[in-house]
Amino acid sequence: MARLVLKFGGTSVANIDRIRNAARHVKRELDAGHEVAVIVSAMAGVTNSLVDYCRQASNDYDSREYDAVVASGEQVTSGLMAIVLQDMGYKARSWQGWQIPLNTNDVHGAARIQAIDGARLIEAMSGGEVAVVAGFQGIAPGWRIATLGRGGSDTSAVAVAAAIKADRCDIYTDVDGVYTTDPRIVPKARRLEKVAFEEMLEMASLGAKVLQVRSVELAMQYKVRTFVRSSFDDPDKVGVDARGNPPGTLICDEDEIVEAEVVTGIAFSKDEAQISLRRVADKPGVAAAVFGSLAAENINVDMIIQITSPDGSTTDITFTVPAIDHDRAIKVLEQTRGEIGHFGIESSTDVVKVSVIGMGMRSHAGVAAEAFRALASKGINIRAITTSEIKISVLIDAAYTELAVRTLHSAYGLDKH
Ligand code: ASP
Ligand code: MG
């Protein structure tokens, strides 16, 4: 017997038929003798409508009430899933965040989980009852409902799995795993059998949309073996292999990956904006003033390049910020002119960050050079670069997104044969 968490995303519970289909996956695990906790998202599209209602109600809504509204989507599906399971002859009970309790901080709309008491869930499960947990929500100080940020049910699932010491956390979604890149852009993209936590964290942070970033951080921290798998597989036809693994992509510890490739995947994100400061006085304290003022406004700066003019008197500073922060960033920068003197500001949101990710980069030279060569061969200009031990990111014109992703995908031998 194992203890399992099964999480179903919005498309997997989009209507009663789909909930019934998801419940058949639960049934299969119960019939095999496992204890099961189910985490559900809201039905597809529901959270978007709820967010929209808040916006229509006021353009300056109270984030506590926003949470009261948007958390309701998951409350509905948790009840419906429990009803469907009961109808199939199983014991099941729904759980809202406050009933567990799943405690969060008070950053309403994007709350972080602070603690989960797994005792009540474990008690229910050991009594043969399926615990159906409403994802995305918890209880903040002051007994207010809080939500975990869009896509937050993934995080609920991994956090609950850690709290109840589950053997596995299966994330059921509308794709059958994690791919080397977005298959809609590169039809030759391959499904990965395994991905290391660190790589998945980079892929999610750098634009792959399959899991909420925070869920991967938690999986890594608590070493939760997490599978991304399809809810549309026939529940009666999918089993586990000889090692006990279900179909899908396993996100796991690096040690479990025997033959790592140098590059595991290519991610891309269109949510970037490039800002260039022209002819800034080249003197100590300038970068501190520029980036300090952005940091004070909680604007995250990612890529940075500085190029000093030939005579050394001025410098150009180029960097990226999240596209949603673009307008605020420009305002803040205009204000620093008083402090550091006049400079020009140019910006563009028509850019994309393309990233090459792989643990194997730590031990292989020339991986970055290969990316630059491949992009150059297609005439794609690189506007900025950042690297870490396991990733290289380049900023390019958005018009070249598909070409760049395809080119890099084949340059690193990731194409399906
Ligand atoms: N229903 C929430 C959303 O759409 C949470 C989730 O599905 O993960 O963002
Ligand atoms: Mg999701």
Predicted confidence pLDDT, tens digits, the chain (417 residues) = 899 999 999 999 999 999 999 999 999 999 999 999 999 999 999 999 999 999 999 999 999 999 999 999 999 999 999 999 999 999 999 999 999 999 999 999 999 999 999 999 999 999 999 999 999 999 999 999 999 999 999 999 999 999 999 999 999 999 999 999 999 999 999 999 999 999 999 999 999 989 999 999 999 999 999 999 999 999 999 999 988 899 999 999 999 988 778 999 999 999 999 999 999 998 899 999 999 999 999 999 999 999 998 998 999 999 999 999 999 999 999 999 988 889 999 999 999 999 999 999 998 989 999 999 999 999 999 999 999 999 999 999 999 999 999 999 999 999 987
| Region for residue 363 given its phi and psi (left: phi exceeds 0; alpha: psi -120 to 50; beta: otherwise) | alpha
Please say whether the beta carbons of 193 and 229 come within 8 A. no
From the number of C-beta atoms within 10 Å of its C-beta (0-12, 13-18, 19+), residue 176 rates as: middle
pLDDT for res 416:
86
Backbone angles phi, psi at 88, to 5 degrees: -85, 0
Backbone angles phi, psi at 14, to 5 degrees: -65, -25
User: Crossing angle, helix 401-411 and helix 367-377, to 10 degrees?
Assistant: 130
Which residue, among 83, 70, 109, has the nearest Cα to 13 in the 3D structure? 83
Q: How many angstroms does the Cα of residue 98 sit away from the middle of ligand 2?
A: 22
Q: How far apart are CA 221 and CA 137, in angstroms?
A: 21
Q: How far apart are CA 278 and CA 305, in angstroms?
A: 12
Q: How far apart are CA 6 and CA 227, in angstroms?
A: 10
259-417 domain in CATH 3.30.2130.10? Answer: yes
- State which amino acid sits at residue 195: V
Q: How many angstroms does the Cα of residue 146 sit away from the middle of ligand 1?
A: 13
Q: How many angstroms does the Cα of residue 331 sit away from the middle of ligand 2?
A: 33
Q: Which atom of ligand 1 is nearest to the CA of 41?
A: 7
Q: Which atom of ligand 1 is nearest to the CA of 150?
A: 9
Q: Which atom of ligand 1 is nearest to the CA of 9?
A: 7
Domain residue extents for the chain? 3-254, 259-417
Residues whose beta carbons lie less than 5 angstroms from ion ligand 2 = 9, 151
- State which amino acid sits at residue 264: T
Q: Which ligand is nearest to the CA of 209?
A: 2
- State which amino acid sits at residue 199: E
Q: Which ligand is nearest to the CA of 39?
A: 1
Residues 6+ apart with CB under 8 A from 43: 10, 13, 14, 15, 73, 76, 77
pLDDT for res 400:
97
pLDDT for res 298:
92
Backbone angles phi, psi at 219, to 5 degrees: -60, -40
To test the pocket of ligand 1, the residue of 7, 40, 46, 47 to mutate (highest count of ligand atoms within 8 Å of its CB) is 47
Q: Which ligand is nearest to the CA of 13?
A: 1
Q: Which ligand is nearest to the CA of 76?
A: 1
- Using CB distances shorter than 6 Å, the residues near ligand 1 are 9-10, 41-42, 47, 73, 135-136, 150-154
Please say whether the beta carbons of 2 and 168 come within 8 A. yes
Q: Which atom of ligand 1 is nearest to the CA of 151?
A: 8
Q: Supply the pTM of this predicted model.
A: 0.92
Q: DSSP state, 362? A: G
Q: Both tokens of residue 303?
A: 């890529």
CB burial readout 57-83, b (16+ within 10 A) else e? eeeebebeebbbbbbbbbbbbbbbbbb
To test the pocket of ligand 1, the residue of 51, 147, 153 to mutate (highest count of ligand atoms within 8 Å of its CB) is 153
pLDDT for res 7:
98
pLDDT for res 338:
87
Q: How many angstroms does the Cα of residue 279 sit away from the middle of ligand 1?
A: 45
Q: Which ligand is nearest to the CA of 47?
A: 1
The DSSP bridge partners found for residue 357 are 265, 391
Q: How many angstroms does the Cα of residue 260 sit away from the middle of ligand 2?
A: 27
pLDDT for res 261:
83
Q: Both tokens of residue 125?
A: 């499960």
Q: How many angstroms does the Cα of residue 41 sit away from the middle of ligand 2?
A: 8
Sheet order of strands, 91-95 included:
91-95, 129-134, 35-40, 3-8, 168-173, 226-230, 249-252, 194-196
Q: How far apart are CA 2 and CA 49, in angstroms?
A: 37
Q: How many angstroms does the Cα of residue 292 sit away from the middle of ligand 1?
A: 34
Q: How far apart are CA 29 and CA 154, in angstroms?
A: 20
pLDDT for res 386:
92
Q: How many angstroms does the Cα of residue 159 sit away from the middle of ligand 1?
A: 15
Place of tokens 């008197």: 313
Q: How many angstroms does the Cα of residue 155 sit away from the middle of ligand 1?
A: 10
pLDDT for res 258:
80
Q: Both tokens of residue 272?
A: 């970037």
| Residue whose CA is at the smallest distance from ligand 1 atom 9 | 150
Pick the CATH number of 3-254 from 3.30.1280.10, 3.40.1160.10, 3.40.50.300, 3.10.20.30: 3.40.1160.10
Peptide bond into 101 cis (omega under 30): yes
